[in-house]
Amino acid sequence: MTRELTDLTAAWAALEKADAIVKGAISALRAASEGGRRLDDHQLLAYDLAHCAAGLATARTALAYGAAGDVEARLAAVFTADAVADIVARSLGREADWGTRAGWQDAISEFLAAGRSPAALAGLAETPGDRRLDGDFELVQESFRRFAEDQIEPVAEKIHRGNGDIPEKLLRGLAAMGGFGLSVPEEYGGFASGGENDYLAMVVATEELSRASLGAGGALITRPEILTRALLKGGTEEQKRELLGPIAAGDKMVAVAVTEPDFGSDVANLTATATPAAGGYLLNGVKTWCTFAARAEILMLLARSDPDRSKGHRGLSLFVVDKPPADSKGFLLRQEEGAGRPAGLGSGSLEGRPIDTLGYRGMHSYELAFDNWWVPEANLVGGEAGRGQGFYLQMAGFENGRLQTAARALGVMQAAYEAALDYARHRKVFGEAIVDYELTRVKLGRMASMIQASRQFAYEVASMMARGEGSMEASMVKAYTCRAAEWVTREAMQIHGGMGYAEEFKVSRLFVDARVLSIFEGADETLCLKVIARRLVEQAAG
């Protein structure tokens, strides 16, 4: 093995060279976009730089991990070489936009050749590397992996292929493990101690659940977490006492209702309304992509409480909407006067229409139509002080939701890698097991490096967020890892050949599940253009 892949000196030099190129291009973007005011006039460059910056941040974490040993160093060096090569490819022929000169990579070409060589990649095919977790987190990983293997995997394929519901037994089992209370503080009946470990525990647990199933496992603990963090950010003490305990115990299942048919990431223009009426609010409007909305007893709803549309996101408030569990195939719930609804308001309704999807099945997604559905004043998150604060409160939940989406991507990637490696070891073509062919081994080696580097970056972001930092990095880890999951699952399916296209092999499920990861919790393009690129430009301003 070449020196460049063991002592990491050349890898660090290549990363710093690439980092300087990206920072220079960000400065060029800032100037071209008039300080960021006209960033949308340069979307391609902004998008590329966001992904390049995310790749380099991942590589930096990977190289720190690489100091732990030779295997770790090789994984980190191979990943770094690929991340830097991606920057070379994106900037080639676009030197004027990037503010670079052709051939800037010549000084690091020896490292790139070593790190991207067939021998370097193939040598990692069956070497995924150690996670380097301490004992407490190894216990978390082992506990959730055992639950996932024993409880989720036996039903995952049935749920996916039949578009079925998540069994109540599974929900109860996850609740008994404390899976719904990982982000709920101990004082409110949960398991969060308030230290740096809380975020990392969520990442570890989410990955293991997603390794068994994205729709029937990994996504389950993210729904309640989004509302939990919003309540902790701005809920009243009474709301925290009333809601967090039942959420942690799994007695109240949660769904999130933010997106609308015409407005996804463009939250400032949401149109659903909350109008004061009879000691509460009447809710009207349509929400879409509300995952788990039928089974949930609580909806976290973002609605316009100020009729002045010019106020944008400052006119939005967050509400807790109570409802009974309903039929997953579609439902129509009615509120009548005298049954918890004040007199003089007439009747109200909440209708849910399921949205069939090609993957991510089990929790089901819905379009919800609110027609004069009434909620009491006590359901306005934060009380009167929370009026107009809904956008900021829901963002407190969604920022960590992006980190958890990266963790879900890790689980899906890990399952795909393991399935591909197992199949490659047993499948023979032209008299040899396909794991012995160079191309197969190169693919597996690249998978291993991408997964471990992404995992280590997710761990780092978890630590940052526990310190109240890492908002941009949470978007970065989601952007990079979710795109990586698409590639890993695609290649895992390809290694299976025709069998990868058969539903009897779970890799086909992993492939279609991975596709949603770059769409929900902030679409990839929106994250890159509106969050990552903008913040990079702001940082370039000093």
Q: Interhelix angle for 390-426 vs 197-212, to 10°?
A: 50
Q: Which amino acid is at 139?
A: L
Task: Report the alpha-carbon distance of residue 88 to residue 21 in Å, rounded.
Answer: 10
Q: In which element (H, E) is residue 205 found?
A: helix 197-212
In the three-class reduction of DSSP (H, G, I as helix; E, B as strand; rest coil), residue 159 is classed as helix
Read off the DSSP letter of residue 497: G
- Please give the Cα distance from 53 to 471 (Å, whole number): 14
Instruction: Kindly state the greatest CA–CA separation across the chain.
Output: 80
Burial of 436 (0-12, 13-18, 19+ CB in 10 A): middle
If one counts every other C-beta atom within 10 angstroms of the C-beta of residue 477, the result is 32
Which of 67, 199, 78 has its CA nearest to residue 128?
78
Is 521 tagged catalytic?
yes
Closest CA to 62 of 441, 484, 522: 484
Closest CA to 5 of 130, 135, 110, 96: 110
Residue with structure tokens 């941009």?
472
What the block records as the tokens of 76 is 């980190």
Question: Alpha-carbon distance 209 to 314, whole Å?
Answer: 37
Q: Which of 295, 326, 298, 166 is nearest to 224 (CA)?
A: 298
Task: Say how many CA atoms lie within 13 Å of 393 toward its Cβ.
Answer: 32
Distance of CA 333 to the CA centre of its chain: 31
Q: How far apart are alpha carbons 303 and 267 in whole angstroms? A: 10
**3-state secondary structure (DSSP) of residue 285:** strand
Q: How far apart are CA 3 and CA 161, in angstroms?
A: 49
Closest of 102, 119, 91 to residue 4, by C-alpha: 119
Residue 397: which of 228, 537, 203, 534 has the closest Cα? Answer: 228
CA distance 95 to 73: 32
End-to-end CA distance of the chain: 42
Identify the active-site residue in 225, 473, 486, 521: 521
Active site residues: 521
